[in-house]
Amino acid sequence: MSTSEAGLMLGTTVAVLAVILLITFLIRSRRKNSPPRPPGPRGYPGLVGSLLSLNPELTTCFTQLANTYGPIFTLKLGRKVGIVISSPELAQEILKRHDATFAYRDMPVVATETSYGGLNISWSPYGPEWRMRRKLAGHEILSKNGLDSVNALRRREVRLMVKHIYIHSQAGSPVNVGERIFLTILDILTSMLWGGRHLGGDERDARRGVELREVIIKMIELFSKLNISDFYPQLARFDIQGMHKRMKVLMRRFDTLFDDMIEQRLKMQDGGGDNIAGEAAGSCKDFLHVLLKLKEEQNGNEANFTLKHVKALLMDIISGGTESTGNTVEFALAEMMNQPHILRKVQEELETVADKHTVLEETAIQNLPYLRALMKETLRLHPAIPLLLPHRSNSACNVAGYQIPKGSLVFINAWAIHRDPSTWDNPLEFRPERFLDQYGKLGFCGNDLRYFPFGSGRRICAGTAMAERMFTYLVATLVHSFDWKLAPGEKMDLSEQYGLISRKKIPLLAIPTPRLSGLRLYE
């Protein structure tokens, strides 16, 4: 090699090294000047992070970590970054100030089955299609007019529930409250969705309803478990824990149910053709009719609305409206039985609109402040979804002086915020009266982030109004029609089992005693 060639090579090497050093300096300088990430546990080295050290009951686990690292902290979750929020002020930053940035979802692998590939409201990506689906459900079934239009069917199912409980009361046998409420809500929802009850009233159909509840509980359990595939996407196709496969098996039960209902509806068309807008179908103004009509109208359009879209929305309403509402009613009755003076106070308020010689009507209980306070307090102490559904940041964002990286999973610990002693007096005490005085203005719309059991912002629960009606009517009917007690020797256990949905760890088995004056009121 000549001297000139050696000099040229040396010069090139020096230039390359200089460029590398300059880039390194700029990157370090940029990092030094950018906000830090929130603090958090170091976790295990490499890609594992904190996954192996997390308690499966994330609600209490996150609350304990917040006591150490503060109201905002970071978790390294495999290849993903988790941010946990545990204060009203920081929840305001995420769900209000930067709502558009955090309106996205990071769909778990198991949710690809329950949402038919992300086609529902809960898990679909934020954007025009999501807004269309939410508007459709809100206008046709979850709006005030939609709920008013099916008042009669709610009354029918609640009266059937009363009759069933009365039969138990005559035998002196306990009622599984959560199970009975689930079956009632299931029949209310299926009547709203496709105009017919899922349960026919006989023992065989009741067993099918109980089996369906068991399927939903198993689904919730799968959602509540940490799935390696969610944190290492490149491993998802191997389904190492078999969770995707199990969810697929569970979903067959619902998929078969939806296929049967859709097939029955299509047979109602004139001449068995494809015109869902025909006179025969037009007489069935339920949600399934609206969805199938929309499917026909958009057939062939660029934004095609398929049968999968139809089934995804049906699944969204059934899965979101049955177990969560049933658990809340169960907790409410358990808390009242644990403090009988609260139960008596609710009964006394109800007797101002319906005495013991009268069947309680839903329209009569819309302006009862103590009953509404009872619902608020139940959802404060036992929020149905304690961590809400996780949000995902669509871009990097500064929150409270910290850098939230793009693609971060953001968990809002509503359970901890609702029990924060700096906000709530005696936060572990069940006391509905707190919502009649200093907290009376707090509602379900998520404007004040001290209390937001249904979430807040763009992703607030679409079924809030329906949940409120279901809860108040069911609880009011249960305590107006019956007194309740535990079996001799039993003690009330109010402990919770935390997961995607909070539920009573030990089911409430309670013995009803009729309160109304005549047998006809139970028929």
| pLDDT given at position 22 | 58
pLDDT over threshold 80, residue 13: no
Coil vs helix vs strand at 95: helix
Residue 438 — very low, low, confident or very high, per pLDDT cuts 50/70/90? confident
Share of the chain above pLDDT 90, in %: 71
Q: How far apart are CA 330 and CA 207, in angstroms?
A: 20
pLDDT tens digit sequence for 332-355: 999 999 999 999 999 999 999 999
Q: How far is CA 185 from CA 256, 317, 326, 332, 366, in A?
A: 20, 11, 8, 16, 19
> Considering only CA atoms, which of 485, 512, 371, 383 is closest in space to residue 436?
371
- Does the pLDDT value for residue 76 go beyond 90? yes
Q: Using the predicted structure, report yes or no on whether residue 369 has a pLDDT greater than 90.
A: yes
Least confident of 30-39, 88-97, 461-470, 483-492: 30-39
The pLDDT of residue 141 is 86
Neighbours of 168 (CB within 10 A): 17
Lowest mean pLDDT among 125-134, 288-297, 440-449: 288-297
Task: State the DSSP code for 94.
Answer: I
CA separation for the pair 519, 361 (Å, rounded): 17
Return mean pLDDT, the chain.
89
Nearest alpha carbon to residue 403 among 74, 26, 4: 74
pLDDT tens for 392-420 read 999 999 999 999 999 999 999 999 999 99
Averaged pLDDT for residues 453-457: 97
Name the pLDDT band for 74 (thresholds 50, 70, 90): very high
Would the pLDDT of 19 be above 70? no
- What is the pLDDT averaged over residues 497-503? 93
Scan for tokens 């009964």, then name that residue.
347
User: Residue 372: which of 354, 345, 396 has the closest Cα?
Assistant: 345
Pair 500, 223: CB distance under 8 Å: yes
Integer Cα distance of 430 and 422 in angstroms = 17
Q: What is the mean pLDDT of residues 372-383?
A: 98
**Domains of the chain, each with CATH number or no CATH:** 114-522 (1.10.630.10)
Q: Which residues contact 115 (CB under 8 A, 6 or more apart)?
A: 107, 122, 123, 124, 312, 315, 316
Query: How confident is residue 175, by pLDDT bands cut at 50, 70 and 90?
Result: very high
Reported residue count of the chain is: 523
Region 309-322 average pLDDT: 93
**Between residues 479 and 48, the one the model is more confident about:** 479
- pLDDT band for 52, please (50, 70, 90 cuts): confident
CA-to-CA distance for 81 and 58, rounded, in angstroms? 16
C-alpha to C-alpha distances, 503 to 112, 213, 321, nearest whole angstrom: 24, 13, 14
| pLDDT value of residue 283 | 40
**Band of pLDDT at residue 198, cut at 50, 70 and 90:** low
Q: Which residues pair with 49 in a beta bridge?
A: 44, 77
Tell me what the mean pLDDT of segment 314-341 comes to.
95
Question: Which of 342, 331, 410 shows the shortest CA–CA distance to 373?
Answer: 342
At residue 239, does pLDDT exceed 80?
yes
| Residue among 107, 110, 108 at smallest CA distance from 248 | 110
pLDDT digits (tens, 9 = 90+) for 289-300: 889 888 888 765
Q: What is the pLDDT of residue 300?
A: 57
**CA gap 505, 183 in Å, rounded:** 19
How far is the C-alpha of 146 from the C-alpha of 142, rounded, in Å?
Answer: 6
Distance CA 353, CA 364 (A): 6
As a whole number, mean pLDDT of residues 172-194 equals 92
Give pLDDT, residue 277: 39
Residue 8: its pLDDT value, please? 54
Cα-based angle 520, 164, 353 (whole degrees, multiple of 5): 55
* Phi, psi for 502 (deg, rounded to 5): -80, 135
Quote the distance between the C-alpha of residue 93 and its chain's center. 22
State residue 269's pLDDT score: 59
